[in-house]
Amino acid sequence: MSPELLKIENLHASIEGKEILKGIDLSIQPGEVHAIMGPNGSGKSTLANVLMGHPHYEVTRGKIFFKGEEITGLAPEARAQRGLFLSFQYPIAIPGVTVANLLMTSLMTLAKTGNGRYAEIRKTFRTDLKKNMELLKIDPAFVTRSLNDGFSGGEKKRMEILQLLALQPTLAVLDETDSGLDIDALKIVSEGMQKYLNPERSALVITHYQRLLSHLKADRVHILGQGTILTSGGPELAIELESKGYKTFGLEDAV
C-alpha cells in the first residue's frame, strides 16, 4: 500500500480554551474520497480549520502528517504550498480583488516554491479557466468581478470549485460545499469535484447529507460526534445514517 497522503494521529484541538477535537485518528490514501458526517457542534468545521492551520485554533495534542511530512506547526500558506486546499463553508467576499487576479496571483505564488508543476499549470491557465467556467456554468464576465462580491450562495460555492480546478491541489478539504445548493447546482458542483479527482488527488468531504455522496462516491464515511470519530465504514454508512438518524449513534442530544 502506498504511503498515506494525510495521516492524523490522536488530534486534540481547542479554541479559546474550549476543547473541540478530542482525539481524531484518520488516514487518507492518494485517490481516495473520505466523507465526514455529524451533527452540528460535533467538530466537523473545526477539523477542517485545524487541518488548514487556522490560527484561532490550538492543537493541544497529536500530529498531522501530509505526504509523510509533519505539518502540525506549519502556517496556512505553507500548507497550501504543499498542496492542501480548503473550500469554505461560508466563502467571504473580497471587494477589489477580481477572480482572475486572485487565481493568477495564487499560481504565481505557488510557482515561487520551485514546484515546476505550477509553471506548467500557468501555461494553459486561460484555456483551462474558460473550460472550467463552462463546466461549472459560470458567466465568463465573472472573471473581471470582485471575488464573491454580490454573488449568490450557489455562485460562491461554484467559485470555490473553480479555484479548486485552477490550483489543482493534492488534497481538497471541502467544508459543506453542498449546503444551500438546489438539485441542479449540486449536480454542477459534483461534476466539478469529479473532474478534480484522479489517482493522485484526494478529497475530505464534510457534509450533512447523503445526497452529495450519491454524486461523489466516497471510499470511506466517518461519523464524527463529540469531538471524535465514533465509527467508520463504506458508502452504505451514509445511507444508514440518513435512514436512521444520529440517534443510532447516540447523538440525538447533539443535533
Domain ranges of the chain: 6-249
Class in CATH terms, 6-249: alpha beta
What is the percentage of the chain residues whose pLDDT exceeds 90?
Answer: 73
- Residue 255 above 50 pLDDT? no
Return the closest-CA partner of residue 30 out of 70, 68, 77, 79: 68
Please give the average per-residue pLDDT across 128-155, as a whole number.
94
Please state, for a pLDDT cut of 70, what percent of the chain lies above it.
98
Read off the pLDDT band of 252 (50, 70, 90): low
What is the model's pLDDT at position 202?
97
Query: For residue 58, which phi and psi values (nearest 5 degrees)?
Result: -115, 125
Q: Rounded distance, CA 214 to CA 63, Å?
A: 32
Q: Contact, 110 vs 118, CB < 8 A?
A: yes
Whats the size of the chain, residue-wise?
255
- What distance, in Å, lies between the first and last C-alpha atoms of the chain? 37
Strand pairing of 171-175 and 202-206?
parallel
Q: Which residues of 131-168 are buried (b: 16+ CB within 10 A; e: fewer)?
A: ebbebbebeeebbebbbbeebeebbbbbbbbbbbbbbb
pLDDT for res 242: 84
3-state secondary structure of 38: coil
The position carrying cell 480549520 is 49
pLDDT bucket at 144, cuts 50 / 70 / 90 = very high
